[in-house]
Amino acid sequence: MTSQDIISKLPYSKPFLFVDEIISISENGVEGTYYFDKDLDFYKGHFISNPVTPGIILTEVMAQIGLVCLGIYILNKEFNIATSIALTSIEIDFLKPVYPNENVTVISEKIYFRFGKLKCKVSMKNQLGIEVCSGTIAGIIV
């Protein structure tokens, strides 16, 4: 399964697809990127003079790359099924703001996959390599 195959199986589309590229993926983790274009709708009203990416959007990027893409890969590899993972829990620390026109990289490491539940340690770094948020995200097979 290629990176494009995985992205095509995501249950999202623009404007709610937050995965541009999967750099690497294995049964133990995934690394991918997303670019925050300045014209995204949520910037229009989030801190009018100085737009910042909302934390819930950062969380969604981390979940789509770090949990759902990895889940699709694992389910296809281990069980040869094409299904998805739904979010069940998050615990994220926000360390730095992410501004319009920034590219971020999400790195996810599998903590466990058992009984249909996937839990990952996920971090996001900005284009300077500085960690902007990190935590754990979990989901179940749907």
The amino acid at residue 95 is L
| 46 carries an active-site annotation | yes
50 within 8 A of 104, measured Cβ to Cβ: no
The Cα angle at residue 68 between residues 22 and 75, in degrees rounded to 5: 95
DSSP character at residue 61: H
Q: Do 86 and 10 touch, CB atoms closer than 8 A?
A: no
Q: Which of 20, 29, 46, 141 is an active site residue?
A: 46
Pairing state between β 117-125 and 21-26: unpaired
Could you list the active site residues? Answer: 46
